[in-house]
């Protein structure tokens, strides 16, 4: 029986994680996770120094430190983003929109103004808003 990344669900998660380039929102959240890891590392060092100063058993603190890391770092975030993007693409396809890039959905959601015209933009390098 396969386990971990060799199991069917593990292979599916790996495929989802490698399926598309990260969008702007995913890059932002990756930075947040990075800073959370740094904060956890600093807190771990502070707690270990405090435990040594107080003369406490460091081995008894290991489960707490592990719990702190696990609770503060969202491990399934890349898979969650890919899944939500695929749901959005499915919803758009029911409206007749063909989505070729799942991260483009997030980028389009951040638009404040979209200018479209049939002629003039490329040939004259001008846009006209009417």
| pLDDT by 10-residue block (mean), the chain, 130 residues | 75 67 73 88 91 90 87 76 80 82 73 70 66
Inter-residue contact 21 to 103 (CB < 8 Å): yes
In angstroms, the Cα distances linking 67 to 24, 33, 72 are 29, 16, 8
Residue 117 is among the residues annotated as catalytic for this protein: yes
The residues spanned by each domain of the chain are: 4-124
> Active-site residue among 40, 101, 107, 117?
117
Distance, CA of 114 to CA of 121 (rounded, Å): 13
Q: What is the pLDDT of residue 7?
A: 82
* pLDDT value at residue 110: 76
pLDDT at 99: 76
Q: What is the pLDDT, as a whole number, of residue 54?
A: 92
Tell me the CB-side half-sphere exposure of residue 37, using CA atoms within 13 A.
Answer: 8
Virtual CA dihedral for 95, 98, 102, 105, nearest 10 degrees? Answer: -50
Under DSSP, the state recorded for 119 is: S
């Amino acid at each position: 029986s396969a386990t971990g990344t060799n199991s069917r669900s593990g292979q599916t998660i790996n495929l989802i994680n490698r399926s598309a380039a990260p969008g702007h929102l995913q890059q932002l959240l990756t930075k947040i996770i990075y800073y959370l890891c740094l904060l956890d590392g600093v807190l771990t060092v502070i707690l270990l120094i405090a435990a040594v100063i107080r003369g406490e058993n460091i081995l008894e603190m290991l489960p707490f430190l592990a719990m702190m890391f696990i609770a503060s770092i969202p491990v399934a975030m890349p898979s969650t983003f890919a899944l939500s993007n695929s749901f959005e693409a499915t919803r758009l396809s029911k409206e007749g929109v063909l989505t070729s890039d799942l991260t483009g959905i997030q980028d389009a959601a951040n638009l404040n103004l979209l200018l479209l015209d049939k002629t003039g933009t490329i040939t004259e390098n001008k846009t006209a808003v009417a």
